Every structure is written in structure tokens, then in C-alpha cells.
Structure 1
Amino acid sequence: MSYRTVVKKYYCPFLGSSAQILLVILVIFILLSQSLVDSNSFEMLSRDNGHGGLNLSNGRRSQKNANSRNRAVNNEGKCLYDEETYDIGTGFKINCNLCICQDKEFKCKSRVCLIRPEIIKEINNSNKGWKASNYSDFWGLTLAEGKKYKLGTLHISSSLLRTHNVGLTLGENEILEESFDSRKKWGPYINPIRNQLNCSSSWAISAADVAGDRSGIIGLRKGLTTLSPQYLISCNKGRGKQKGCQGGHIDIGKDTECRNKKSPSISENVDCLKNQSHFLKFTPPYKVSKNERSIRIEILLNGPVQATMVVRQDLFVYKSGIYTCPKVEEMAKNSESSAKNAPNSNYHSVRILGWGQLDTSPYTKYWIVANSWGQQWGESGTFRIVRGHNECEIENCIIGIWPSKNNI
């Protein structure tokens, strides 16, 4: 409809010329406003449709979309993505993969990321008995980086595996409890969850915390005994193949540990401070029989134990429930084998605090395990894992340690 037609249609002979002019101006204003609204609506619709495969559920860009939505915005080779312009050589990161603008299009790396939304979705939509979640601390790391920084236990030495097992026994008529938690029995003496950050120090943290727990349990010090894993990281490098924040063996060899009343730092670049007044002495670590009942008796009578386990990629996204190790075919499907050449082994050291059982079926029996990835991870820093089936090799090598009689 033209403005001339509008004027003719709304022409009123009984109105004066001034009134007619005002009416024409009003009609023109209404038409222009409607045209602007239509234009904006079309622009918004175009933007919404332009997202294609963009992952809006977690607020992060989808790498699949990076190549389909990028295009040159001028002849200088710049790239456009998600309504942002990028110069040649600049770009953005999609999870653990960097996308760089190179002559009118983006080139993205295709590394295996530690956190993969499709794995989280698959776990939560299945009947595995546990649930998964995304963690901001892990987002942006590759699987290889996760294994490099978040684990840290080197392969168990053959000499330790050959060590004579210690197995405690109970009376003939004594029946083990169906559930037990060290935190409930010895609450004030059990150390809280730590965060190893980007230091492969699970071997040192689990050893220091087991020793600290047991020192408190026997009354060696009043209240909580917090020992410093930093001492092992900084001072134990000279022994064999100990590598500090690059990993270490759980058979630490030393009979002393540095006591630290403050929350100890976890870092590669901390000097070894040997102040004898802050030392506690411990007997050499001993190996507990890997029989499930023997492990339970050891924890019941003496306190938490140190354990090693093989870590698979899905453990990083564990949120709650009873964890089970993925089968070989599941790992192959999730491309975990592509990161098998990570700098460190897949072994991790943890602290077993107790056990429990949901019902009478075999795979609802579990260990209660303290991890070292912070309290925001898992069940307030802990996880439950199937008990009695050597899940992820967690029952292969159980270690205990006692304070020495030489302590003052």
C-alpha cells in the first residue's frame, strides 16, 4: 500500500487541511513502525536459525559447528563465528580444542577432551548405577592432561607386590558390620578431602592422610593430625624414581614425614624444609591382604588404608552412586585408547574410609573412597565403588602404615 493510496483512503472532506496533514503523518508513522518490527523479527529469526549445531545447553560452542558457520567477512581473510569477527591467527577454544582463523576459515584441533558431554549424557541415560556431571575444573583439559596432572601414581614395584601380606582376624563368632565409615567412628581424627590441583601427587596425599588419620586414632597428637604431602613431593625425589609433581611410588621408603599444622600447599616448586621439630616418624608401609574381608578388618581395627586403582576417563565425571569400571569395548567406543600415551600411567592413589551395601545383590556392595580432586567433585570429594570384585584393580595393593614408637 503506497502513501498516496493511504492518504486517499483516509481522506475526510469535513476535516480541515491541518487535520488531514496530521492524519497522514500519523498513518505514515504507524506503517514505518510496523515495518521496523517485521525487520527486527526477521533478523532475530535468522540469528536463531543460524545456531545450527551450537551447544546452547551448557553455554559452550560446539566444535562441529565451527567449520559450518565460519566464513570470510571481507577480502582480508578475516573469519566470522557466532557474530564475532576474528583476525587471521586469532581464534577461540571449544572445550580442549583451539580453533584458529586461517585465510577465511577456522582450523580446529581434534584432541580427545577430558570432559565430553556425550559421555555424561550416555551415563545419565543408562542404568549404570551411578550419575555423571560436568566439572569446571576439568573443562578445557585434554584426556592426556587429565592423566598427567590429576593422577600421579607410578607403576607398583614388583618388590612391593612380592611383600608378605598382613591379614588381621576377628574372633570366630564375630561378624563384620554390613556398613562402616571411619568418619563416624573417628570423626575428629579423619583428615578432610584435599585438592591436588595440577600436581600428580595422589601418591603423596593418600600416604600423608592415612598416616595422619592413624596418628590421631591412636592418640599420638591431640585432635586432627595433618601431615604434609608437600614434604614427600619436595624431599623424596632423591629416592629411586620418585618424581614429585610428575608422579611417585606408594612404597615411599622414608620412615619420617613432615608435620604441618596449616593446610599444606601442593606445588612442584617448594624447597625441602627439614625442621626436625615438625617431624613424625613412621614404620615402613605394609601390604594388606587383598582379600575383601581382610581389608575390612584392617579398616575396622586400625583406620583408613591407602589403595591404588586404574582410572578410566568416565571417573572424572563421576557425581554420585556406585561406580563400576567400564568394559574394554566401552573404552574403545569412547576413543580412550587414543590417549594411552599420556606422560604418566593410569594409576591413582586413594584412601579407603569404609564400606557399605545397598541391598543383597552382589554389585551393590561398595567401598567408601576419599579422592584428592576437591570437595566439589563426586559425593563431597568421595566416591563409592563396587566392593569384592577388584573393580579397577582397587583391591590389588592395599597399604597400611603406623606411627613409630620413637615419636616423642
Structure 2
Amino acid sequence: MQDPVVEYINRHPNAGWKADMNSRFSNYTVGQFKHLLGVLPTPKNVIEDVPVRAYPKGLKLPKQFDARKAWPQCSSVQDILDQGHCGSCWAFGAAEALSDRFCIHYNVNVTLSENDLVACCGFQCGDGCEGGYPLAAWQYFISSGVVTAECDPYFDDAGCQHPGCEPLYPTPQCQKQCKDLNQNWVDSKRYSATAYRIASKPYDIMTEVFTNGPVEVSFSVFEDFAHYKSGVYKYIKGDYMGGHAVKLIGWGTSDDGVDYWLVANSWNRSWGEDGLFKIARGTNECGIEEDVVAGMPSTKNLVVDSAVAAEQRASW
């Protein structure tokens, strides 16, 4: 993570964004940064038979959209989390988006456990802190469910800041026991009813977010992205670092007329624009529009109004 990249970006006449030496990575080596980028290439057998959602043109979408403002009652939509030193972005993007959708569709505020995915999904999802497949996380939600974060808190909650902490954590062991022994692991499980990909046209992605809530997206990260501070990101300089998964929560157009996606990262609020970033929309910048995944929450293990549940299922 070198200063010359920051200087180059900030002097570039057409960058469209500002760079800074983010405190989040001030002590990181390039190897440690790469370790955070935990999206592995999805195996063909994971993608096979997965439905792809596309939407017929006709819905009038707003020029600006921010899920935090659309659903202010949903606490998880407002959150910016920290994956620490584990390559668990694939799990964060999935657990965060499904948490949001439980509130959006069933008015249930819940924070789901990334730790359950990282520790317990196993080879189905990839390799825990060494990376995983976002789509497989959503399939795990259907087959195995995911407990609440209250039951199974994230193991690296300190972000590895305390003295003597190892810079890279190994994948935690799957315990299948709530930290609070008054809670039951099986009863704490929440499920997804579906898992699907979204067609890669901006209209399809926007309609999905506008209609159903935030989605998980993956994209290629280059060295300059580590230094993002503000503005609409597009790749300018640096080597390829790896694949990263994040939660897409909206879109808009900058004062300079550049269309962008609004995205929540999992590198805490000290990075970027209070933990968020904007990235160019409509040009598949760094591949961000070609690997969009989501699912609809299930009422299994959930106490909700039966009429509300029936109405939601009918709308799918």
C-alpha cells in the first residue's frame, strides 16, 4: 500500500475520485490486504440450475436511491461492519443482505451471523477465512439456515487490533452452540426461501434492489481501491489484488454527471466515505455488474403475521 498511488490518483485529471492513506490499512502488507479479498471463482456446479432474475422494462425507477433512506426502520441496513483480518467478505455481503431483507419484507429486525457461514458452511461455501463463493452462501441459507449474530458473534470482532494478536486469523471452528447458553442453536436459525442471480443489466439490478432490498455483488479489486476516500471510483492504477464481495444498497448520479452504485463495504467506518463507496454504474466497472446474487427470506422459524407472509410469497 504505497503513497505514490495516492499521489498519482489525486493528480490525475480524470480520476473522478480522491485517494488517501486509509488508517484501516496503515500497517498492512500487500499480502495481508489480499487476504481480505475472499471471493473465489465460483465452481460451475454451484452456478448450474440457479435461476437468473431479469425484469421487464416498465417500472419507473428514481434517479437516486439509498436503501438506508427507503427503509430507515431497518437497523441492519444502516450498519457498516468489519470483517477484521479474515477473507470473509463473501459471508458478510450475504448475511448483511439477508438481514436487511428480513426487515424489509417481514418487519423483523435481525442481524445474522457471518461466523455461522465462515465456520460451519465448510467446503460447500469454499474455505472460510481463505475465501468463499457468495452464491453458495445463499444456498446454505436455504439448506442449513443461519443463526443470529447474538447466538454466534463474529470471532474477529476486535479487527485484530489488540497487542499480540496474530495478523491473520485461521478459520474458526464450527461450534453449533450459542454463546448465550439460554439460546438454542436450532431455534436461532433463520432461512432463505430462494437463491438466485440477477441479470447484469443496470435496470435489472436497480429493480431488484428497489423492489426487494440490498443485494450481494462481487468485483475485482486493484491496488488503488485500498486508498479510496471519496467520489465515484473507477480503476486508475495498480496491480490486481483479488475478488471482493460487498452489499449494494443504491445508486445515483454525481454532480459531475457520473452514474454510480452506492455500496456498503465491510472494512469499518474509517475506510472510504464512512465505510461506503461509490463506483461507476453502467460500465460494469471492475466486473461489479456481472455477479449479483440474492434470495428471499423464509418464514421458517419466524413468528410473523400469516397474512403478511402470504402476501410476500405471492409478490415473488
Tell me if 1:125 matches 2:11.
Answer: yes
Q: Is 1:153 aligned with 2:39?
A: yes
Residue in structure 1 matched with residue 102 of structure 2 by the alignment? 215
Calculate the TM-score normalised by the size of structure 2.
Answer: 0.80
Aligned to 2:153: 264
Match of 2:29 in 1: 142
Q: Does 1:205 align with 2:86?
A: no
Which of residues 271, 281, 286 is equivalent to 2:191?
Answer: 281
Matches within 5 A, 1:346-365: 346-358=242-254, 361=257, 364-365=258-259
Q: TM-score, normalised by structure 1?
A: 0.63
What is the alpha-carbon distance in structure 2 between the residues aligned to residue 157 and residue 187 of structure 1? 37
- 2:126 counterpart letter in structure 1: Q
- The answer as to whether partners of 1:229 and 1:266 remain within 8 angstroms in 2 is no
Runs of 5+ unmatched residues, structure 1: 1-114, 341-345
Q: Which has the larger radius of gyration?
A: 1
Report the Cα offset of residue 359 of structure 1: 5.2
* Larger RCO of the pair (alpha carbons < 8 Å, separation 6+): 2
Partner of 1:33: none
1:241–1:248 CA contact under 8 A, matched in 2: yes
Per-residue displacement from partner, 1:113-167 (whole Å, max 9, x unpaired)? xx2111111111222110011123312322122101x211111233455533111
Q: Is the 8 A contact 2:194 2:297 kept in 1?
A: no
Q: Deviations over 1:65-118 (max 9, x none)?
A: xxxxxxxxxxxxxxxxxxxxxxxxxxxxxxxxxxxxxxxxxxxxxxxxxx2111
CA contact (8 A) 1:199 1:266 kept: no
Where do residues 10-25 of structure 1 align in structure 2 (5 Å cutoff)?
Answer: none
Give 1:81's aligned residue: none
Structure 1 position 198, deviation (Å):
0.4
Report how far residue 281 of structure 1 moved.
1.3
Q: Determine which of 29, 54, 64 is the counterpart of 1:179.
A: 64
Q: 8 Å contact 1:197–1:266 — kept in the other structure?
A: no
Give the count of matched residue pairs.
Answer: 272
Cα RMSD after superposing both structures: 2.0
TM-aligned CA deviation for residue 249 of structure 1? 1.0
